[in-house]
Amino acid sequence: MSERPIALITGGSRGVGAAIARALAPTHDLLVGGRESTALLSICEELGARPWPVELTDERAVTEAVAGIERLDVLVHSAGVARLGPIADLPVQAWRESFAVNVTAVAGLTRLLLPALRAARGHVVLINSGSGQRASPRWAAYAASKFALRAFADALRLEEEALRVTTVYPGRVDTDMQRAVRALEGGDYEPERYLAPSSVARVVVGAVTATADAHITEITIRPAAGPVD
């Protein structure tokens, strides 16, 4: 059996999650989460990782998928959705989906994995957003879910003192989700103005590999190019 630490990364088939998987692969045995897809199988083959194809909002499926995970050193919550629009126009379903994926699924998976995390005195990393620190017009549902995610992380940190809990607040990142967001906003897509996914991954690795005397609780990272209109 491998003596390397074990990491589970949700949303790991693309974007920030995939970058984190690549950054942790040299030092960790990986479970890479995502919807069953060619992209998920491809990155697992690339990294020698085990695919973990689970619909995170399906409580029964998640419960079955975590069975057998007895020790977990790192849990990275990178999966998420962004449902944008003015409060006056945004349907209730958009709010429900935002909280189901961005908050409830995170809380449910973490709860199920707490015994494995405790066994390893593990580390929970939550990929939040600048929207988890401030709200903007048309971003109400997403921001509210990310503020809730911040509260969850803060409470988890206080309740589970043996664990490390790190919240990462990236600015805009060059991902497929960002392309979709810019299309909804009607703005130009300028990847050079955004963070590279690998830049976010690097700060995650820094938190995970911090020395035993250092608990990195929050990290804010913004594109050097400045705010995007």
CA distance 136 to 145: 13
Kind and range of the H or E run holding 189:
none
- Dihedral angle sign, alpha carbons of residues 121, 80, 203, 198: positive
Query: Which tokens belong to 54?
Result: 């689970």
Query: Which tokens belong to 76?
Result: 């990275």
Sorted by sequence, the CB contacts under 8 Å of residue 181 that are 6+ apart come out as 82, 84
Angle formed by the axes of helices 15-24 and 38-47, nearest 10°: 20
Which entry of 142, 169, 189, 194 is annotated as an active-site residue? 142
CA distance 42 to 227: 34
Per the annotation, the verdict on 142 as an active-site residue is yes
Backbone phi and psi for residue 149, each to the nearest 5 degrees, phi listed first = -65, -40
Sorted by sequence, the CB contacts under 8 Å of residue 109 that are 6+ apart come out as 10, 56, 62, 66, 75, 77
Q: Which residues are tagged catalytic?
A: 142
